[in-house]
Amino acid sequence: MAKENWLTLMEYSSQHNVSISTLRRKIKSNDLTFQFTDGKYFILDDSLPTQKQASGPETIVPPKGSATQDQEPKAPSSQGSDSSETTKLLLQEIKKAYSMVLQEKEEQILQLKEEVSDLQTLVRVLENEVQRQKTVIEASAKPVAPTATKSASPQPSPQPQQSSVKNPESLSSRMAAEQPAAAAAAPMRSSSSLSALDFDLELDQF
């Protein structure tokens, strides 16, 4: 099928000195009349006479801004100002709601901290009670020493020793009286011994 009025991207680029990338951008923005057939883009060349020859499914897209496209009426400027005010109000509401949620979370955190402190105090009290019960159990488990049935007999207290000397003054007087007698008896014993010695010598001479 001859397509004298439809050119490929390469043909259109070489004839009109337009880059292929520019043609692709114009196709995407609907600035050119093109059709997509058999996996290829074909651009309508207005400088050539139009000939209607088609084979297979063809998709013809009119250029942008043509009369076939529906034109949407532009919104008035007052609508834009209303939308901006609505957006501001929505932002304020969102900020207010966020602040309220944040405040509630902070209050919950404080409440949880207080509960944790109370639980820690309770744990300390229970630990002390457990320690006390443990001490009582250990004390009750120890054996008790048996009590004495008979009282020990009292030991007699030592009596002070009495001196055999009843009267120290009489003893001293007796010793003083015996000393001269002993002194007098000593010469007598010596003289008697001498006389006995002389008697023995005389017997020897006979």
Query: With 90 as the cut, is the pLDDT of residue 127 above it?
Result: yes
- pLDDT confidence of residue 205: 54
Rounded CA gap, 79 and 43, in Å? Answer: 40
- pLDDT confidence of residue 142: 77
Q: Which residue has the higher pLDDT, 186 or 131?
A: 131
44, β-bridge pairs: 6
The pLDDT-based confidence of 65 (bands split at 50, 70, 90) is low
pLDDT digits (tens, 9 = 90+) for 19-50: 888 988 888 888 888 888 888 888 888 754 44
Instruction: Mark whether 134 and 94 lie in a shared domain.
Output: yes
Q: Which two tokens stand for residue 45?
A: 């060349």
180 belongs to a structural domain: no
pLDDT digits (tens, 9 = 90+) for 152-186: 455 655 555 554 445 555 556 666 666 655 555 55
- pLDDT confidence of residue 55: 42
- pLDDT confidence of residue 69: 47
Instruction: Mark whether 134 and 98 lie in a shared domain.
Output: yes
17 belongs to a structural domain: yes
Q: Which two tokens stand for residue 117?
A: 């402190």
127 belongs to a structural domain: yes
100 belongs to a structural domain: yes
Q: How many domains does the chain have?
A: 2
- pLDDT confidence of residue 14: 86
- pLDDT confidence of residue 53: 42
Q: Which of 25, 93, 29 is nearest to 64 (CA)?
A: 29
115 belongs to a structural domain: yes
Instruction: Mark whether 125 and 92 lie in a shared domain.
Output: yes
Instruction: Mark whether 57 and 10 lie in a shared domain.
Output: yes
Instruction: Mark whether 96 and 57 lie in a shared domain.
Output: no
Instruction: Mark whether 13 and 52 lie in a shared domain.
Output: yes
Rounded CA gap, 157 and 180, in Å? Answer: 46
- pLDDT confidence of residue 116: 92
171 close to 165: Cβ distance less than 8 angstroms: yes
Query: With 80 as the cut, is the pLDDT of residue 90 above it?
Result: yes
Instruction: Mark whether 92 and 133 lie in a shared domain.
Output: yes
81 belongs to a structural domain: no
The SS3 call for residue 92 is helix
pLDDT digits (tens, 9 = 90+) for 91-123: 988 988 888 888 888 888 988 988 898 899 999
Q: What percent of the chain has pLDDT over 90?
A: 11
E strand segments, 23-124:
34-37, 40-44, 60-61
175 belongs to a structural domain: no
Q: What is the pTM of this model?
A: 0.28
Domain termination residue (choose one: 14, 44, 61)? 61
- pLDDT confidence of residue 197: 55
Question: How many angstroms from the chain centroid is the CA of residue 164?
Answer: 90
- pLDDT confidence of residue 124: 92
Radius of gyration of the chain (CA): 74
64 close to 25: Cβ distance less than 8 angstroms: no
117 belongs to a structural domain: yes
40 close to 11: Cβ distance less than 8 angstroms: no
The DSSP 8-state label assigned to residue 34 in this structure reads E
Domain containing 101 equals 86-138
Backbone angles phi, psi at 154, to 5 degrees: -70, 135
